[in-house]
Structure 1
């Protein structure tokens, strides 16, 4: 039982980390934090599917897309 609880806690921790990074990535460094949130979300979801992991995956994808758009447009006129 102790091994199962530790695994569940680790997966829940990865899901929470994915969610937090996805939220922070909306405001800072989306091109860096987005893929990290995606990876953590997929790992957590593969082990034990949860809403937190799904939310982290969605936010990570949004962050990544926003980061790519930000780079492609030259920072929305904020850079150079």
Structure 2
């Protein structure tokens, strides 16, 4: 589903999700966690989600951790807010 969202929003350019996060001043996991989600636009928020989904391939359990700590839900809610605007 995340990959479909990336494909459907090609104009956001989040295939280079690391580059996107770097451009927003979020170069690492710590800075992503500290980011004020309510201030993030759709591009940044989607890049955060893609980063965790893709990183879970190399660090098993990462996605579950972000689901468990509520961050993934916050990001999904933010995307919904943006979509509703």
TM-score, normalised relative to structure 1: 0.44
Structure that is richer in helix per residue: 1
Higher CA-based Rg: 1
Q: Which has the higher contact order (CA 8 A, sep 6+)?
A: 1
